[in-house]
Copies of this chain bind each other. A is one copy, B any other.
């Protein structure tokens, strides 16, 4: 029984590449699934008129309230672009905003180190990307502690081996044993080295972002990067209505080299937005539009992604919550807005606020994933490991979430119809009161027809007790250990590897070893 095999086998025609054909020949197999091509209808909770109402409210905010760009270069850029700049506050005419965002590509292909793992993106195509940014880990013994670079390497390996994860992201956990000022180099190298899937690039400072761009040039070459995105950055806004120098500088580094950033307002509903779902979306939409527009001021036609980090906050603690109904509703609405503008969009997946991997974490995570899939998000970030409101990445949760992504993927593809008539013939064969277990159609189709979770226990209580009454955390950690034992590194070209190491060595000589906090959600 191997869930990945059946998942891959169910779509040999669609995936097309050599990887998929290879998957048909050998089992077990950890081949990456192709980009999800959505087969579910979109959950559109707003009428066309309501979409227009949000759009009009956001444009009013951009024109009348304006957005603060705390960055002299951005302010100068905006002046040149024809915006009404008063101090740090930029008032953006709706005509200008619409004109600027019209040049953002609706779809593109993410190029991976292994071209067979390149990914069509946007429109109906979505990709799953693991969480990033956790300052703590729950490790292979479920102990909560500060993470190291070895822990980060481990997560990059696990992401590499998870068929439904399309990316290794970047700093899944913060490697606390590496000084902050050198960290971005080691994180980027770990993503590049341990997997040949796509990955993300650090945006912790404009100069760090330039280093990421340089390392990408070493790996992919400038021509490839000019032709197609190879990496993704994230730029958080400071809601309400502020973008800061660090994020804007990093954005420029990415956009100038034709690489997309997620333009992500950081929204805590009721704290930095109005205490109401639709108005919160209107504000978030204004913030996202202002950054999306700026990407096109930086470089017209550069890919960019409508983003957000979105939560409602606990009245008790002020902390962000996960899986609440309003988060789902806002996801549905934001998806509609992004499609209204024809821009691909990012959301957050499988979020947990629980302190351990208990039932709370499960409920919250699955609530989030369903919202995201029905909302039709394209860049489905934080798809594995997120618990404790992002304060830790759980190793157990990481591998379960990765399997949940495979289940969500299957659901979001929609039903198959290719064996409909053949299977109905089986109904005639079996007839009333019979069973299908030995029927040839069943034997041929069972595995591809029904997803078999590996990490959910569906044995009887007696069997489960006989096997030691093991709950999911322990099962998941055993699975993670098994994966790591089986890991095979997809080797970098030795010349490229050496060039990357040389680059890092030079930059580490140039950059003073300084420790300080950073954050990137």
Contact = CB atoms under 8 A, between A and B. Distances in A.
Contact of A329 (B238, B362, B414, B460): B414
A43 to B, nearest CB: 6
A210 to B, nearest CB: 28
A269 to B, nearest CB: 6
A450 B461 CA distance: 39
Contact of A45 (B39, B269, B277): B39
B359 A458 contact: no
Contact of A457 (B45, B67, B354, B417): B354
A242 interface: yes
Interface string A453-469: 10111111101100001
B450 A278 contact: no
Contacts of A370: 366-367, 370-371, 374
Among A241, A270, A356, the one with the most B-chain Cβ atoms within 10 Å of its Cβ is: A270
Contacts of A404: 363
Contacts of A411: 325, 328-329
Count of chain copies: 2
A364 interface: yes
A274 B41 contact: no
Contacts of A435: 240, 271-272
B459 A319 contact: yes
A277 B415 contact: yes
A356 B471 contact: yes
A274 B359 contact: no
Contact of A446 (B242, B270, B391): B270
Among A67, A240, A353, A437, the one with the most B-chain Cβ atoms within 10 Å of its Cβ is: A240
B433 A316 contact: no
A436 B267 CA distance: 12
* Smallest CB-CB A-B distances: 6 pairs: A362-B362, A279-B423, A366-B366, A370-B370, A325-B411, A241-B432
A450 B275 contact: yes
A400 interface: yes
Contact of A458 (B314, B431, B459): B314
A456 B354 contact: yes
B240 A427 contact: yes
Contacts of A451: 312, 324-326
Contacts of A407: 323-325, 367
Contact of A353 (B325, B428, B458): B458
Categorize the interface residue count of chain A.
Answer: 35 or more
Interface of A: 1, 39-41, 43-46, 50, 53, 57, 60-61, 64-68, 89, 144, 238, 240-242, 269-280, 282-283, 312-317, 319-321, 323-326, 328-329, 332-333, 353-367, 370-371, 374, 388-389, 391, 397, 400, 404, 407-408, 410-411, 414-417, 419-420, 423-424, 426-428, 430-437, 439, 441-442, 445-447, 449-453, 455-461, 463-464, 469, 471-473
A116 to B, nearest CB: 25
A456 to B, nearest CB: 5
Given A317-B460, A363-B400, A41 B44 contact: yes
Contacts of A283: 427
A360 B404 CA distance: 11
A103 to B, nearest CB: 26
A112 to B, nearest CB: 26
Contact of A456 (B57, B364, B455): B364
25 contacts: A39-B45, A53-B417, A66-B432, A240-B427, A276-B423, A276-B445, A283-B427, A315-B446, A319-B459, A321-B456, A323-B407, A326-B410, A329-B411, A355-B457, A358-B471, A358-B473, A359-B397, A359-B472, A359-B473, A360-B455, A362-B363, A362-B366, A366-B366, A370-B371, A388-B461
Among A1, A314, A388, A436, the one with the most B-chain Cβ atoms within 10 Å of its Cβ is: A436
Contacts of A397: 359
A363 B360 contact: no
Nearest to A67: B432
Contacts of A445: 274-276
A1 B1 CA distance: 47
A354 B460 CA distance: 10
Given A323-B366, A362-B360, A367-B366, A427 B457 contact: no
Given A312-B450, A359-B358, A360-B362, A278 B420 contact: yes
A74 to B, nearest CB: 14
Given A270-B446, A374-B374, A391-B461, 6 more contacts: A45-B415, A65-B432, A240-B436, A278-B420, A279-B426, A363-B365
B240 A325 contact: no
A361 B359 contact: yes
